[in-house]
Amino acid sequence: MMAHDVKDFIKMAMSPNQSFSYSIEKEYGDNKWNDPVNHPQHYISNGIESIDVIEAFDLNFRTGNSVKYILRAGRKDKNKKIQDLEKAAWYLNREIEKLKRESKENV
């Protein structure tokens, strides 16, 4: 079964009982995954690119960056996994603080 959009692919990938074969080469061609500017390898795993997950869930800047850093943790540089996770926490904490401020303003 081929995924024709990111949401379908994510649903298939996250389904606990679903087994499927997915060929990136068949759907996108070899060139997409060899592009360090537009598709860096540290943002791709099992054919899923971080930006596609972020867009599929319609995440804002802070939550999107948090997810990005979690997904790439230790992949761009094995020695910086903790730093990547700290960056993710930093963005997530900013989002939490923003939501708390907004909640107080709406009381």
Predicted TM-score (pTM) of this structure? 0.64
Please list, in sequence order, all residues whose beta carbon lies within 8 angstroms of the beta carbon of residue 93, skipping any fewer than 6 positions away: none
Mean pLDDT by 10 residues, the chain (107 residues): 54 52 46 67 78 92 95 91 97 97 88
How many other β-carbons are positioned within 10 Å of the β-carbon of residue 57?
13
For the chain, the structural domain boundaries read 1-48, 59-107
**Cα–Cα distance between 34 and 79 in angstroms, integer?**
23
Is there a contact between 71 and 43 (Cβ–Cβ < 8 Å)? yes
Identify the helix (H) or strand (E) that includes residue 69.
helix 61-72
Closest of 37, 19, 26 to residue 4, by C-alpha: 26
